[in-house]
Structure 1
Amino acid sequence: MQNPLTPDASLFTPLDSELTQGVNLIEQATNWQEKYRQIMLLGKKLPNLAEELRLESAQVKGCESQAWLYHLQVNEQHFYLADSDARIVKGLIAVLLVATQGKTSQQIAAFDVNQYFDTLGLSGQLSPSRTNGLHALANVIKDSAA
């Protein structure tokens, strides 16, 4: 994914442990309202992408909302910067990044988004358009790591 403006490499870092803890809370939540609340909180914890990086060339196609994704490979590990203009989508991006940030190409290729969302109790809870957008994001992550 080549963009005319590329984020500084120092921005591509391992995720804050609060994001991993947030995904654990989603898995432990006993009802959809609590899971939704945790997704929204995760979205708030994911850093905002600078306005000058919200370029059309970095947009993920297939998302109902606007979503941007940047990729950087450091040695064998893949790192992502991502953002969305919709809070729920930003939270779902954070959920995806917890599963893929800092992973190898092989780990990302083996990542099954459907199984991951089943484990978290999110399958069947999202609208078809959100599910399609989530798959579009997961596919861009996988393609960039291939």
Structure 2
Amino acid sequence: MASESFEEIVEDFEFLEDWEDRYRYVIDQGKEMPPLDDALKVPATKVDGCASQVWLHPTIDGGRMYFDGESDAMIVRGLIAVLRRLYNGLTLKEVLAVDARVEMGRLGLNDHLSAQRSNGLRAMIERVRSVAQAG
């Protein structure tokens, strides 16, 4: 139950046959994402469990979740952009219904990220889910 925006990534990945191209695609997604305001890079928005510095700034507007993020690692910034496309604009109930591991698995990310990156991705997903649960 992913967003339409995420489905576009899935379709794009079908045309990218090797992992290097997919890796570049994810990095490019991060480059296109607007930078997070430095004022939002505070302990409350920092995601623990990531090897790199990661901040997620979620907002709930009209019962729908949106978030911005930042990382000092290009691939992680790209993963944030992919997660934004997975979750942004979904209702809180829809956010909780998304099986992010399955959805990210459709991109082959589960098989191609290092253990540290996988742990960081799980930490980001858990942060998004916890905000939706509290919302």
Into which bin does the TM-score normalised by the smaller protein fall? Answer: 0.7 to 0.9
| TM-score, normalised relative to structure 2 | 0.88
Distance, in Å, in 2 between the alignment partners of 1:20 and 1:94 is: 14
**Cα drift, residue 26 of structure 1:** 3.1
Counterparts in 2 of 1:1-146, with a 5 A limit? Answer: 21=8, 24-146=11-133
Letter in 1 for 2:79: L
Unaligned 5+ runs, structure 2: none
* Distance 1:100-1:116 versus aligned 2 partners, 3 A rule: same
Which structure carries more helix by proportion? 2
Unaligned 5+ runs, structure 1: 1-16
**Cα drift, residue 99 of structure 1:** 0.7
Paired residue secondary structure (2:109): coil
Q: What percent of counterpart residues are identical? A: 33
Question: RMSD in angstroms over aligned alpha carbons?
Answer: 1.9
Letter in 2 for 1:82: G
| TM-score, normalised relative to structure 1 | 0.81
* Distance 1:109-1:19 versus aligned 2 partners, 3 A rule: closer
